[in-house]
Amino acid sequence: MTSMKPMKRLFCRAFQTVFDLGSRVLPWRKPEIVSGAGSTAKIPELLRGCGVKKVIIVSGRHTGAVLVPPIRAQIEAAGLSAVHFDGVRANPTISVIEQVREMYLTEGCDGFLAVGGGSPMDTAKAAAARIVRPNRTVEQMTGLFKVMHALPPFIAVPTTAGSGSETTIAAVITNEKTRHKHAIMDLCLVPRYAVLDAALTEELPPDTTAQTGMDALTHAVEAYVSVHSTTKETDRCAEEATAAIFRYLERAYVNGHDLEARQEMLLASFKAGVAFTRAGVGNVHAIAHTLGGLYNTAHGLANAVILPIVLADYGAAVEEKLARLAEITGTKTSGTAREKSGAFIAAIRAMNERLGIPDHLDVIREEDIPQMVVWALREANPTYPVPVLYDEAHCAEVIRRVGGK
């Protein structure tokens, strides 16, 4: 299934096995969920309970103009202070991290409130990490457990149902000079609270709803087919998230005011985040990050396109697991594991089509593929417990398929 050299393959699997054994004694935790319509009204109480007197609110421009003002007004009405950084864009950069860090320190803040999708949450996480580790750059904190220090109180308020950053140990930041994405992964990056209020997602455009929802599906599926680090909890969360996304994503896409679908998608995204925080992601994410870095491709869109291509490439290595997901989602409940697996992958492709997501990304330039391969394999190997280990040639072949070649 892979042409990776035997010794390198052995090293990767040995690393993953040792990490899996070690991870079983780590103090994994999840944020406390505050959920339901109007749950943002509890934010001042949560901040006060954390001892926060002045919070920095981190968001993007649109969210900052529409959704943040009433939240900030509630905070200030409760006698707390707030400042607002609204300069986050998709695929946040190191320079933005430094701007947030500078505002936090200059304004004398003592807590973070991230409002938005994965980009504001990752920005706030990385800025908080820089605050507690002032002598370490983003590059120096890239990888596993390079922060190892408690962050200031941190509350995450997702306004999209996709990234799962409100419950994960990860923050992904782009170096604007090299266009390389750096994944910081540490247990201390998990927020203290996750506020899941469907009303905040009600006005999301259909394309954003679709892409972020498929991002959540990618998290769930990649965690589920992981060959190490899965637990009963991660499998259960991945199964429940996948079933919910198949049931509710298209409802939310068609009718953004369907609050039941919106709330269920927030919960599905959270569960998918729990699953991949512990069980990991894989080659889909490793390749998607190169697209975000080089071409600023939206992460959810990249994942949505890459997911069925990589799953089909994995073949027999994931048949049993995907067959189970086919049964859970009602995609196909009879036949062989191969037939069920194929039906599940076909169902993802069909859902992408209904959601207006293309089957390939024509932004990929042939001359960029060698660099994409380097970045993808550096991220994936040996850390990600993928069903199939890619070498350079295999990875390049898959990237070309993503580009429609």
| Structural domains of the chain in order of their starting residue, each with its CATH number | 6-26+204-402 (1.20.1090.10), 32-201 (3.40.50.1970)
Q: How far apart are CA 234 and CA 237, in angstroms?
A: 5
Q: What is the pLDDT of residue 3?
A: 61
Check if the beta carbon of residue 198 is closer than 8 Å to that of residue 259: yes
CA 180 from chain centre, in angstroms, equals: 17
CA distance readout (Å), 34 to 28, 150, 157, 309: 19, 22, 10, 36
Q: Where are the beta strands (DSSP E) in 97-169?
A: 111-116, 143-144, 154-158
| Residue type (1 letter), 386 | V
| Residue type (1 letter), 369 | I
Q: Comparing C-alpha atoms, which of 17, 3, 27, 2 is closest to residue 382?
A: 17
Who's near 193: CB < 8 A, 6+ residues apart? 31, 32, 33, 34, 46, 154, 155, 156
Handedness of CA 18, 21, 22, 27 (dihedral sign): positive
93: DSSP letter: B
Q: Token match 């995609």: residue?
A: 331
**Quick one: CA torsion of 168, 37, 243, 304, rounded to 10 degrees?**
-60
Q: How far apart are CA 249 and CA 267, in angstroms?
A: 12
| Residue type (1 letter), 166 | E
Ramachandran angles phi, psi of 258, nearest 5°: -80, 90
Six token digits for residue 164: 């799962």
Q: Comparing C-alpha atoms, which of 45, 199, 201 is closest to residue 116?
A: 201
Six token digits for residue 393: 């040639």
Q: How far apart are CA 223 and CA 217, in angstroms?
A: 10
Q: What is the CA radius of gyration of the chain?
A: 20
pTM comes to 0.94
With 0-12 / 13-18 / 19 or more C-beta atoms within 10 angstroms meaning exposed / middle / buried, residue 50 is: middle
Q: How far apart are CA 97 and CA 94, in angstroms?
A: 5
Check if the beta carbon of residue 252 is closer than 8 Å to that of residue 263: no
Q: How far apart are CA 270 and CA 339, in angstroms?
A: 30
Q: What is the pLDDT of residue 171?
A: 96
187: DSSP letter: G
Q: How far apart are CA 178 and CA 310, in angstroms?
A: 26
Q: How far apart are CA 295 and CA 291, in angstroms?
A: 6
Helix locations, 174-298, DSSP H:
206-224, 232-254, 259-279, 283-295
* pLDDT tens, residue order, the chain (405 aa): 456 889 999 999 999 999 889 988 899 999 999 998 899 999 999 999 999 999 999 999 999 999 999 999 999 999 999 999 999 998 999 999 999 999 999 999 999 999 999 999 999 999 999 999 999 999 999 998 999 999 999 999 999 999 999 999 999 999 999 999 999 999 999 999 999 999 999 999 999 999 999 999 999 999 999 997 789 999 999 999 999 999 999 999 999 999 999 999 999 999 999 999 999 999 999 999 999 999 999 999 999 999 999 999 999 999 999 999 999 999 999 999 999 999 999 999 999 999 999 999 999 999 999 999 999 999 999 999 999 999 999 999 999 999 998
Ramachandran angles phi, psi of 83, nearest 5°: -120, 160
